[in-house]
Amino acid sequence: MTQDEIKSMVARAAIAHVPPGSVIGVGTGSTVNHFIDALFTERERIAGAVSSSEASSARLRNCGVRVLDATEVERLPLYVDGADEIDPLGHMIKGGGAALTREKIVADLADRFLCIADTSKVVDVLGRFPLPVEVIGMAAPRIARRFEKIGGRAVLRAGVVTDNGHPLLDVHGLEIIDPVALEAEVNQWPGVVTVGIFARHRATLCLLGSSDGIRTLQY
C-alpha cells in the first residue's frame, strides 16, 4: 500500500469512533483531509464540526458538513487530528500544517483526542521532527536564541504565516525527554503564541496504519 492509501484507510476507520448526532472537532493535514472526504458519505452521522483551520473548514463545507465556530460550543465529545510525531505515552509534535494554535484550542474543547496516523510517526522520544512554534514576529530572534541555549536550532519557516497572521519557527535538534515540562516552559516565553508540543492535550486514542492494517493504541 502507498502512504496515501494507508492514510485513507486509517481515516475511514476513524468514522466508527464518531458519536452519531454530535458536533466534533476536526484538525488539519493530509490524513485529516482523508477523514473529511470520508465524512462526505457519512455527513448525516454528525450535526457539524469545529475546525482548526480555514483550509479544513473549506473542505468540510465542500463535503456538506456544517462548520461551527469554536465560540459556539462549550464542549466536544471528540477531536480527530493527525500528528507529526507521537510517543509511547500519546504525547505529540504537531504544527507541520501551521495550524497548531487553533488545533490546541479545539483539542481543549474535546473530551477525547483521536489521533490518526501511519506508523512512521511513532517515535520513542519526540524531536526528530522539527518542533513548530508560533510566535509574535518581533520576538522571533529572542525566542530563537533561547532555543539555542537548550540545544535547538530555530529556523523561520519561509513564506508561511498561520491563520492567525503569525510567523512560525521550526526548531531542529531537540531531544524532548520531558514533553510536559518543555511545553510548560516554552509557553511562558514572551512572544510565544503556541509551542507544537501536545503533552497536556495528548492523544487518548490513536489509530496507526501500516500495510499490515490498523493498530489501535489507548493512552
Same domain, 43 and 64: yes
Residues 146 and 92 grouped into a single domain: no
pTM for this entry: 0.95
Closest listed residue to residue 108, CA positions, set 50, 67, 53 = 50
pLDDT higher than 90, residue 52: yes
Same domain, 28 and 46: yes
CA-closest candidate to residue 97, choices 86, 108, 81: 81
Asked if pLDDT for residue 43 goes beyond 90, the answer is no
Q: 72, 74, 103, 148: which is the annotated catalytic residue? A: 103
Query: For residue 68, what pLDDT is reported?
Result: 98
Residue 137 clears pLDDT 90, i.e. is over it: yes
43 with 140, same domain: the answer is no
**Do 92 and 147 reside in the same domain of the chain?**
no
Residues 82 and 162 in one domain: no
Specify whether 54 is catalytic: no
Q: Are residues 30 and 106 in the same domain?
A: yes
Say what the pLDDT of residue 45 is: 87
Same-domain pairing of 73 and 108: yes
Does residue 104 share a domain with residue 206? yes
What is the per-residue pLDDT across 78-117, written as a single tens digit (0 to 9) for each? 999 999 999 999 999 999 999 999 999 999 999 999 999 9
Q: Which domain holds residue 161?
A: 131-196
CATH of residue 139's domain is: 3.30.70.260
Are 10 and 107 within one domain? yes
Task: Give the count of domains, the chain.
Answer: 2
Task: State the average pLDDT over residues 137-161.
Answer: 98
Chain segment 208-219, per-residue pLDDT in tens: 999 999 999 999
* Per-residue pLDDT tens over the stretch 168-210: 999 999 999 999 999 999 999 999 999 999 999 999 999 999 9
Any idea what the CATH number is for the domain that residue 96 is in? Answer: 3.40.50.1360
Q: What are phi and psi of 114, to 5 degrees?
A: -100, 115
Asked if 8 and 47 sit in the same domain, the reply is yes
Residue 74 and residue 153 in one domain: no
- pLDDT score, position 42: 87
